[in-house]
Structure 1
Amino acid sequence: MLIAAAILLQSVSLGPPSPPTGQDFRSGGQGSWVEMGQIGRCGLPHADCAREAFEEGRTPDAITHLQAAAKKGDAWAMRTIGLILMRGEGVAQDPETGASWLFEAALHGDKPAMRALGTAFRQGLGVDRDSRLADYWTAKSR
């Protein structure tokens, strides 16, 4: 059942909306990236703000930006949150929630998240060990 749900959900595109053309999207006007929630406090898209915060050692700020990007359908952000939680990098380790984020990223087509999810199922990290699901997600990551 999980595999059928995963295949069904993978066929749905939930990516972030494309910004309108012909204007400065950082300006904050109608239809801008700021208005659509694409821009973080640093003046860049949330994923870029997250990268900047990580480089400066501000993991909680990075996670805030990653969550905003993930809510907009950014699979990289979903995977990154999942890996941070799985490893406990700068936050309390929470493998179950981390695996959930990896699953969401995998459903959005993120190949590295699929590979990480396969590893999680193989090793029982945040999920029950399941060699069938481990093989499935590992194969999907190729």
Structure 2
Amino acid sequence: MSSAARLLASVLALAGPGSALAQSPQPVMPIVPGANAQAPVPKPASKEVFTAPLKELPTPYTPGVMGANPPTSNKETDVAFGAYQRGQYTTALREATKRLSANSRDAAAMTLLGELNNQGLGIKQDPVKAAEWYRLAAAQGDVHAMASLGLMSIDGRGGPKDLKAGRRWLEQASDKGDATASYNLALILLGSGTEADQAKAATLFRKAANGEISAAQHGLGVLYLQGRGVAKDPAQAAELFRRAADNGDLAGEVEFAILLFNGTGIAKDEGRAARYFLHAASRGNAIAQNRIARLYANGRGVPKNLVEAAAWNLAAAAQGLSDAWLDQTLTGLSPEERTRAEQMASERANVK
């Protein structure tokens, strides 16, 4: 029995009508190695009232190996992928299995079965089986499978940890145009610290940024801001941070707001900066909460409002970002104002 046939038989045994797995839609989770991780917010820079730009690079995570579009235009595979995107994982499992039963060389169906096994969606989580499906799909040239194998090898999931093999898989996927693989490969190169690898990382970040990977847009912006691997160019950094912000990247949003406020690489606009800070703060970013609190306390970009300043300061402090200057500035609040600020901070803590 071939590897594909053996794996398919195991899927059929678990995906029959008697399966007790829930069919109700669930949110589609990002495809990340080992966990549904989120890149941490940047660390604070200085404790001055208005800080210089942040210096943090992205952390190694991927927004989703499968991407937003079906891996093939084949109608049956699209049915399976569509179910996956809607969170109907048992349907995705059934449809991908059906498709593979009809065509044992269907790489897209293999990759989808790899994803489901990797994340434990619609089937018991099994990284070893996931890696087997990915290898079969990669042998057929599927770039999503190559990218997934690269991440699993680096993370030591489904087999021994193997950084060299992981890098090779990511290089293959990147060469074939996979934007997320380019992003993750760039992060590996940045870790080497050599000037040549910094330049290669910038090139890979650019490929991923052009593929609208927001974390890559942020990462390339940081390189332009620092002059690492590229000539220092604050204007390019500002434009990349704006694109990252528009694509929902919180770190990029905060960076762009800081450049806007300071007039670095872009025309100074405190009001616009405040709006970006406020948006990121409302999404739970502690740095943005701290910065918008300082703006409210000083009436810069927004009308002065010490209750708002206190509320955002409390929200940031609840996430571990304390600010002695703000604490001292806000000591003059009345008990009623303090209570109102605490209520506002509590309400905001429940909104992400």
| TM-score of the superposed pair, with normalisation by structure 2 | 0.32
Which has the larger helix fraction? 2
Map 1:21-100 → 2, pairs under 5 A: 21-23=109-111, 24=134, 27=138, 29=140, 31-33=142-144, 42-44=168-170, 45-56=181-192, 57=194, 58-100=197-239
- Structure number with bigger Rg: 2
* AA of the residue aligned to 1:82: G
Q: Which segments of 5 or more consecutive residues in structure 1 lack a partner in the other structure?
A: 1-14
RMSD of Structure 2 on Structure 1 (CA): 2.6
Q: Which segments of 5 or more consecutive residues in structure 2 lack a partner in the other structure?
A: 1-66, 72-107, 112-133, 151-166, 171-180, 282-352
Deviations 1:22-81 (A, max 9, x none): 23377263553389xxx8x84221122101110113111101111121122211100010
* AA of the residue aligned to 1:53: L
The 1:16/1:77 distance shift into structure 2, 3 A limit, reads farther
Q: Distance in 2 between matches of 1:76 and 1:100?
A: 14
**1:117 aligned counterpart, secondary structure:** helix
Higher relative CO (Cα under 8 Å, sequence separation at least 6) belongs to 1
The 1:42/1:30 distance shift into structure 2, 3 A limit, reads closer
**2:143 aligned counterpart, secondary structure:** coil
Aligned to 1:124: 263
**1:62 aligned counterpart, secondary structure:** helix
Deviations 1:72-130 (A, max 9, x none): 22111000101110121232110101111000000000011111111001111100110
The 1:76/1:21 distance shift into structure 2, 3 A limit, reads farther
Q: Identity over aligned residues, as a percent? A: 21
Higher mean C-alpha displacement, 63-72 vs 104-113: 63-72
Q: Distance in 2 between matches of 1:43 and 1:53?
A: 14
Q: Is the 8 A contact 2:199 2:228 kept in 1?
A: no
* AA of the residue aligned to 1:96: A
Aligned to 2:252: 113
Aligned residue pairs: how many? 125
| TM-score of the superposed pair, with normalisation by structure 1 | 0.75
